[in-house]
Structure 1
């Protein structure tokens, strides 16, 4: 059996920046075990599998597809960068003729529309709730050490803990954090948290005008640090929209690779997440 595979860097227009995802467009469903083995082999934060819903559709003519995402260790419910990369494969490499694609996923229908050089994803918004920092003392210590923090919020349905650094911190505090994934994972074993977002207020007055910065760590899902995380911005977008009083924001994820996301919090309780993607590899998995 031969399976086509594409590796794309998402939320960037430059190769080797943004977040790499492996995308496999499949003519037939495979077993979950095989999906997991392929994802472990690709060893990226996510590998996505696109399958046709209507057998009479092709990847060029179809407008609705099934989409699943796997980390090297498990399946996940929502992944932004691999959704962006999946749409880019269909639009760029399969010359899909539809203006909008809809993916049926574990997080419901996710629509992606082409816009110029980039893509707009219609995602659920995941508003977090304010928490007592003392309840998460160990995990906060493992994440940010002794740096001062301003807010702790939890998105219980995504299991993402948001830790905001104090405004007195310079951006270099965020970029220079050394987070030990083993210590982080062992600091939280209750199952309430599966990912930690560390964020801080941006510099909207300095070009290109980022409203906020973030980093994201998810060793519980086999991802020590994720370079650019669409799903985390379903939480960040909600939080910062309220704090800044803005619907439209420009965000930068400060991993070593770095990536940029345009956000628009909508009145219908969803969020548009926009970005670009660049193909760095095309090949065939032979089984």
Structure 2
């Protein structure tokens, strides 16, 4: 059996930047073990598998597809950059004729709309709840050491724990953190946390100005650090929108993004081969 594989860089318009994802459009479902082996072979943070919901559709004519995401070690419930890459692969290489593509996923129905300068991705918000820092003492220590922490929140839906560094911290504190993925795994194996977000308030007044900065670590899913992740921003955008009182934000991971939230989170993003 021949399986087509496209590798695209999402969240960027420059080759070899952003976050790479592998995309496999499949004419039929495969065994789960084969999905996992392919993802392990690709060894990217996520490999996406697209299948048709209607057997009479083609990848050029269909507007709704099934979509699943696998890391090198496990299947995940939500992945932003691989969703964007999946839509881009259908638009660019399969010449899909529709302006909007819908994906049936573990996280519900997700939409990506083709626009003149990129793609608009509609993602659900996952507001986190405040936690007692002492519940995650070992994990916080492993992640940020003795640097001051202003907030610890958890999205129980996505199992993403977010640590907000104190506003007194310089951005270099976040940039220079040396986070050991093995130390994170050893600090928490309860199953409550599958991804760790470290964030801090930005300076919109500066040039260029950003509302917040973040880094994302997910060794529990075989990803030591994710360069830029859409699913993390369903938590980050929900948190910072409330804190800052803003609906549209410009943020920085390893790649600048614009995110906003109405009833759902949306991201204006681009994808580059």
Q: Is residue 264 of structure 2 the alignment partner of residue 264 of structure 1?
A: no
Q: State the alpha-carbon separation in 2 of the partners of residues 274 and 32 from structure 1.
A: 32
Partner of 1:242: 242
CA deviation string 1:69-113 (max 9, x = no partner): 000000000000000000110111111111110000000000111
Partner of 2:272: 278
Q: Is residue 192 of structure 2 the alignment partner of residue 196 of structure 1?
A: no
Counterpart contact for 1:197–1:216, Cα < 8 Å: yes
Number of aligned residue pairs: give it.
273
CA deviation string 1:130-158 (max 9, x = no partner): 11111111000000011111111010111
Q: State the alpha-carbon separation in 1 of the partners of residues 125 and 234 from structure 2.
A: 5
> What does 1:8-47 align with in structure 2 at a 5 Å threshold?
8-47=8-47
CA deviation string 1:102-125 (max 9, x = no partner): 000000000111122211111110
Give the secondary structure class of the aligned counterpart of 1:263: strand
Q: State the alpha-carbon separation in 1 of the partners of residues 104 and 162 from structure 2.
A: 27
> What does 1:66-77 align with in structure 2 at a 5 Å threshold?
66-77=66-77
> What does 1:76-155 align with in structure 2 at a 5 Å threshold?
76-155=76-155
Q: Which runs of 5+ in 2 are unaligned?
A: none
Give the secondary structure class of the aligned counterpart of 1:164: strand
> Normalization by structure 1: what TM-score?
0.93
Q: State the alpha-carbon separation in 2 of the partners of residues 252 and 25 from structure 1.
A: 31
CA deviation string 1:185-229 (max 9, x = no partner): 110011111111000111212233221110000100000101111
Give the secondary structure class of the aligned counterpart of 1:243: helix
Q: State the alpha-carbon separation in 1 of the partners of residues 118 and 260 from structure 2.
A: 15
Partner of 1:285: none
Counterpart contact for 1:251–1:263, Cα < 8 Å: yes
Counterpart contact for 1:260–1:275, Cα < 8 Å: no
Q: State the alpha-carbon separation in 2 of the partners of residues 140 and 116 from structure 1.
A: 42
Q: Segments of 4+ in structure 1 off by > 2 A? A: 206-209
Shift of 1:240: 0.3
Q: State the alpha-carbon separation in 1 of the partners of residues 250 and 243 from structure 2.
A: 14
Please identify, of 71-80 and 168-177, the stretch whose mean Cα deviation from structure 2 is larger.
Answer: 168-177
Give the secondary structure class of the aligned counterpart of 1:179: coil
Q: State the alpha-carbon separation in 2 of the partners of residues 207 and 23 from structure 1.
A: 36
Q: Is residue 233 of structure 2 the alignment partner of residue 233 of structure 1?
A: yes
More strand by share: 1
Q: State the alpha-carbon separation in 1 of the partners of residues 102 and 257 from structure 2.
A: 20
Give the secondary structure class of the aligned counterpart of 1:141: helix
Q: State the alpha-carbon separation in 1 of the partners of residues 7 and 34 from structure 2.
A: 18
Partner of 1:59: 59
